[in-house]
C-alpha cells in the first residue's frame, strides 16, 4: 500500500533549458493532489518524471509503499484515436490489464474488467468501436483503462479538458469515488480552477522555477499570487521564467512552500 510520495530537489532540463528546478513536495496516500500553472510550466514533465518516462538530471522521487510494488495508472494529456480503430471499448479497457489481449484474459481479469466498466459507466457502450465514441465517453474509457489494474497511484494529465461542465464533474466524481472506495492516490493536472477548488485536497502551483504547495485558501484565494503567476508568464516576462521576481509586486523565490 502506498503511504507517501516524496519529490526532492527535482531538476529536469531539455537541451540545456531548465524546466524543473529544485522542486520538492510531498503527496500523502489517499489524497487528491492538483497541479496547476500556466502553459509550459512543466506540469506534464513532472508527471512523466514521476512515471519514469523522463529521467531527471538531479533529485529523487521516493514512493513509500512498505517495500511493495506501486501500481501506477496514467491518463496522458492527449491521445489520438483514429475514428476507424477497429477495437471495442471493452477491449480497449482490457489493454490496461497485465495480460491485455495475449494470452487471453483470465476469468478473474474478465470479472475485474466488468466491475471497472460498471464503475466507470462504460459498460453501456462496451461493444462500440472506441473511435466512434464521443469525447466524454472516450475520456471515461481512458480512465477505465487506467483503473483496471487497481492502481495505487493515478496520474491524470488534463483528463477533463474538452469536456462539458457536466461531463467534467462526472469524471471528477468518478475519480473521487475511486479514492474513497479503493484508497487510490491521485495527482491531477487541471487548468479549471473551479474543479481544483471542488476536488483537490492539496495543490501545487508551478511556474518555471517558482513553486508553492498549499490548499484552497493559501493558493486559490490568493488572487494576487495567481494573477502574478499567470499574467507574468502570458506576457512573456523572461525574468519570471528564470525564477526571478514577477509583476504585481510579488517576489517569488524558487521552491517557496
Ligand atoms: N521531450 C521534450 N524535449 C524538449 N522540450 C520539452 C520536452 N518535453 C517538454 N518540453 C518543454 O518543456 C516545457 C514544459 O512542457 P510541459 O509539457 O511539461 O508543460 P505543461 O506545464 O504541462 O504545459 P501545458 O499546460 O501547456 O500542457 C515546454 O517548454 C516544452 O516545450
32: CATH: 3.40.50.300
Residue nearest to atom 31 of ligand 1 (CA): 40
Domain annotation covers residue 130: no
Beta bridge partners of 186: 32, 154
Q: Encode pLDDT of 164-198 as tens digits.
A: 888 899 889 999 999 999 899 999 999 999 999 99
Looking only at the bridges linking them, the beta strands covering 4-14 and 17-28 are: antiparallel
CA neighbor of 145 nearest in space, from 122, 163, 177? 122
Q: What is the pLDDT at residue 233?
A: 52
Q: Quick check: is 53 in a domain?
A: yes
| In-domain check, residue 120 | no
Is the C-beta atom of 241 inside 6 A of ligand 1?
Answer: no
The domain tally of the chain equals: 1
194: domain range? 1-71+154-160+190-257
Q: Is 101 in the pocket of ligand 1 (CB under 6 A)?
A: no
Alpha helices, H only, 52-183? 89-94, 107-119, 135-147, 165-182
Q: What is the per-residue pLDDT for 244?
A: 34
Residue 43 Cβ inside 6 Å of ligand 1? The answer reads: yes
In a domain, 61, yes or no: yes
Nearest to 173 by CA among 78, 43, 47, 32: 32
Q: Closest residue (by CA) to atom 1 of ligand 1?
A: 14
ipTM confidence: 0.97
Q: Is 49 in the pocket of ligand 1 (CB under 6 A)?
A: no
Q: Which helix (H) or strand (E) holds 195?
A: helix 193-199
- Is the residue at 96 inside a domain? no
Q: Is residue 15 situated within a structural domain?
A: yes
> How far, in Å, is the centroid of ligand 1 from the Cα of 237?
18
Residue 36 Cβ contacting ligand 1 at under 6 Å = no
- The helix/strand count (H/E) of the chain reads as 8, 9
Eight-state DSSP code of residue 103: S
Full pLDDT tens readout for the chain, 257 residues: 788 899 999 999 999 999 999 999 999 999 999 999 999 999 999 999 999 999 999 999 999 888 888 999 999 877 777 777 789 999 999 988 876 556 677 788 888 999 999 999 999 999 999 999 988 889 899 999 999 988 999 999 998 887 888 889 988 999 999 999 989 999 999 999 999 999 999 999 999 789 999 999 999 999 999 999 988 654 444 433 333 333 333 344 444 44
| Structure-block grid coordinates of residue 152 | 495505487
Amino acid at each position: 500500500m502506498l503511504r507517501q510520495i516524496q519529490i526532492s530537489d527535482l531538476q529536469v532540463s531539455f537541451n540545456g533549458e531548465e524546466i524543473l528546478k529544485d522542486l520538492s513536495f510531498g503527496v500523502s496516500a489517499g489524497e487528491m493532489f492538483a497541479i496547476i500553472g500556466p502553459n509550459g510550466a512543466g506540469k506534464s514533465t513532472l508527471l512523466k518524471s514521476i512515471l519514469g518516462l523522463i529521467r531527471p538530471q538531479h533529485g529523487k522521487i521516493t514512493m513509500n509503499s512498505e517495500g511493495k510494488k506501486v501500481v501506477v495508472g496514467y491518463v496522458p494529456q492527449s491521445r489520438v484515436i483514429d475514428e476507424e480503430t477497429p477495437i471495442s471499448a471493452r477491449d480497449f479497457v482490457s489493454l490496461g490489464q497485465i495480460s491485455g489481449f495475449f494470452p487471453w484474459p483470465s476469468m478473474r481479469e474478465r470479472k475485474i474488467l466488468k466491475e471497472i466498466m460498471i464503475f466507470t459507466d462504460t459498460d453501456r457502450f462496451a461493444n462500440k468501436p472506441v473511435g466512434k465514441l464521443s469525447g466524454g465517453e472516450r475520456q471515461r474509457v481512458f480512465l477505465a483503462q487506467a483503473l483496471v489494474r487497481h492502481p495505487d497511484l493515478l496520474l491524470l494529465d488534463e483528463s477533463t479538458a474538452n469536456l462539458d461542465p457536466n461531463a467534467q464533474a462526472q469524471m471528477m466524481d468518478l475519480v473521487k469515488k475511486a479514492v474513497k472506495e479503493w484508497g487510490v492516490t491521485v495527482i491531477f493536472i487541471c487548468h479549471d480552477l473551479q474543479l481544483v477548488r471542488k476536488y483537490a485536497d492539496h495543490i501545487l502551483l508551478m511556474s518555471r522555477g517558482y513553486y508553492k504547495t498549499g490548499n484552497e485558501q493559501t493558493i486559490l484565494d490568493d488572487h494576487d499570487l495567481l494573477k502574478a503567476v499567470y499574467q507574468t508568464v502570458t506576457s512573456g516576462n523572461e525574468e519570471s521564467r528564470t525564477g526571478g521576481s514577477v509583476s504585481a509586486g510579488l517576489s517569488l523565490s524558487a521552491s517557496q512552500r
